[in-house]
Every structure is written in structure tokens, then in C-alpha cells.
Amino acid sequence: MLLHACCGPCSMEPVRVLRERGAEPHIYYANSNIAPADEYTQRLATLRAWADDEHLAVTEGTYDPAAWHAATAGATSREERCRACYRLRFEEAVIWACEHGYDAVGTTLSVSPYQYTDVIREELERACAQAGLRAAFEDWRPYYDEATRRSREAGMYRQNYCGCAPSAAEAARERAERKAARERERERWQAEHAEELAAREAELDARRAERAAYDQKRARQRAILKALRDKDARA
């Protein structure tokens, strides 16, 4: 079967499971959505390095950002944009599969819980049906945590956005919103526990003052002892 792959980390568990079932997937990297080009290259290099270790075949599709922009230009929502994106990439994968004798096409996109899983299935089945191929769709989301763990342990590059420029902006905005929410929660907690925190800080100040006084006392004692030793030495 041909396995459309978005990146190395998301390929780990699907490949492992498929091999355990007796299938040997061929990875097809068709991701014209990824921007900028350096990000595309880094994801592909990470995928290839892992695939080499796994003795896994990888084919790179055509990288055509202009085609992706044209395909998604009319989208009025995030879901519509993602659907158009899936459609473009799956159609490319299906064409390559037909040209090279494959009878089934799957995808690693469904590993991520941040994707539209139902839409992925619909678009994969649609593309395969047009070409008379079997859509080897599987909901890989139950393997997401394990894929995350394994890829981190392996030191693989892990991206923090889907791939396209709009998703990068959305991810950055969502991270900022989560950070702001955490800050608001921290401020709320501090306000609710202001008296407790003030009392704790006063107690710490008292301990610090006590410690400083003790240190000063010890310093004076050491100075006196040193003066006595010096006097004895001169005598």
C-alpha cells in the first residue's frame, strides 16, 4: 500500500502497526501545503532519516505551493481550507499510486487529534474511488501519545503547527491565548490568596532577618577569635 505521510513523527506508529499486520507501506510525501520551504525541507529530512533507519521506502511528491494556494483560495473557514488541502494531496498520492501499481492508499494525517478526522476519511475515500483504489483509512488518533513519546525519545524534529502559513498563524494565536489564560488564572489565584501570600512573605522576611542577624553575630565571633589568635601568635 501507499501511505501518504505528513511528517516523520506521525509516520512512526502507523508504520509499526501496519508492519505488525504484515503490510509493508511505501511512504509518499506529498505536502505542498507546508510553508516556508525550509520547514518543508526539514520535515522531509526528518522523515527520510527515520525511514532510512527503518529500511522504509520514501518518495517525495511535487512541492507546488502555488497549486496549494489555488486549491484553498476559496475556503471561507478553517475546515473548508483543510478539506481542500486534503483533497489536493490525496489526489496527487492516488495518481502516483495508480502509475506505480499500488491498489490501496492510506494516510498518517489521522494521527493528529488536531485534524478533521472525518473529513480526512471522506476525502481519502473520494480520491481513491475516482481511481478505483482501496482507501486504507484508519483513525490513528489512539496512537498519538505513543507517537509523541517515541519521536521525542528519538530526538526527532517535531513541528508545532500543521504546515501551512494560516495554520502557523492560528497556532501562534492559540498559544498566545493559552498563555494569556494561564496568566489570568495566576492573577486570580494570587488575588484570592493575597492575605495568605502576604503572611508567608512576612514570615520569610522575618526568617531572612533572623538569619542575617545570626550571620552577623557569627562573623563578629570569628573576628574576635582571629584577633585573639593573632595576639597569641605575636606573644
Asked whether 130 and 94 are in contact (CB, 8 A), the reply is: yes
Amino acid at site 2: L
Contact partners, residue 125, CB within 8 Å, separation at least 6: 135, 137
Residue 198: count of CB within 10 angstroms of its CB: 10
Rounded to the nearest angstrom, the gap between the alpha carbon of residue 195 and the centroid of all alpha carbons in its chain is: 40
Distance CA 105, CA 98 (A): 10
Compute the chain's Rg from CA coordinates.
Answer: 30
Distance CA 150, CA 163 (A): 21
Each of the 235 residues of the chain gets a pLDDT tens digit; together they read 999 999 999 999 999 999 999 999 999 999 999 999 999 999 999 999 999 999 999 999 999 999 999 999 999 999 999 999 999 999 999 999 999 999 999 999 999 999 999 999 999 999 999 999 999 999 999 999 999 999 999 999 999 888 999 888 887 787 788 888 888 898 898 889 888 888 888 888 889 989 988 889 888 888 888 877 877 777 6
**pLDDT given at position 235:** 65
Distance CA 225, CA 131 (A): 95
Distance CA 206, CA 182 (A): 31
Looking up cell 502509475 gives 99
**pLDDT given at position 65:** 97
DSSP 135: E
Three-state secondary structure call for residue 102: coil
Distance CA 151, CA 157 (A): 8
Rounded to the nearest angstrom, the gap between the alpha carbon of residue 23 and the centroid of all alpha carbons in its chain is: 27
